[in-house]
Amino acid sequence: MSYSEFSFEDLKNKLNLNLREVEAIIERIEPRKPSLLIQETLKENLPIALGIDTEKARSEMILAPVLIELRKQCNRQVSLFSSIDLNIDKSKGLNRVCDFIISHSSEQLFLNSPVFTVVEAKNDNIKSGIPQCISEMVAAQIFNRKKNNSIPCIYGTVTTGSIWKFIKLQNDDVEIEMREHFIENLESLLGILVEIVRVTNPIIQTL
């Protein structure tokens, strides 16, 4: 078993999680002004990625640039990992590759303190990616506990690149945001992403 094989039932029965839907994960969103680079990049990339309409195209042309912009907005005090192994507990299925992880460290050579996991939705199906995302968040939480990292909660998102749904994990409690966010509202989306970094590490200085 691995992250991608988890179901909602597995989250409850195997990982003993409490799941609930909430109106908003981040109550107050402070919009962030995107750099000219990300504006130009998405202006060029979005039509191509949506036209090709494959996970790889969306990942390379939308997700990666947005997450790199997040790192820039956080003064490069966080690190970004793509297609990284997070092997925590094979017996529980908490193993294999994660699409993207944001970590609280400028160290880019190795994973230090994961706080945000990103799952690419398969076949544009956001809901089907939620169990995978939550299982990766649990693995990140265990990783931090083993490293004695003081991280209050873990965040995650399932995204098609153009649509983003956010999730929060604190101990055994999972909050799944009912609403979705859209790449067209980039300032708001960046506001959420930056706030996630701030919540998990208040000393991070942003642009």
CATH number at residue 105: 3.90.1570
In a domain, 147, yes or no: yes
Residue 155 in domain: yes
pLDDT band at 99 (very low <50, low <70, confident <90, very high): very high
Mean pLDDT, to the nearest integer, of 61-69?
Answer: 98
Gap between the Cα atoms of 28 and 14, Å rounded: 33
206 located within any domain = no
The pLDDT of residue 202 is 77
Question: What pLDDT was estimated at residue 181?
Answer: 97
Residues 105 and 103: their CA atoms lie apart, in Å, by: 6
Q: Tally the domains of the chain.
A: 1
Residue range 34-58: mean pLDDT, rounded: 97
Q: What single-letter DSSP state applies at residue 14?
A: T
- What's the token pair of residue 170? 């604190």
104: which DSSP letter? S
Taking the C-alpha atoms of residue 121 and residue 87, their distance in angstroms, rounded to an integer, is: 21
> Is 205 contained in some domain?
no
CA 181 to chain centre: 13
Q: Look up the domain containing 113 and give its range.
A: 3-200
Position 207 in a domain: no
pTM of the model: 0.96
Query: Does any domain span residue 69?
Result: yes
Domain contains 73: yes
Coil, strand or helix: which one is 119? strand
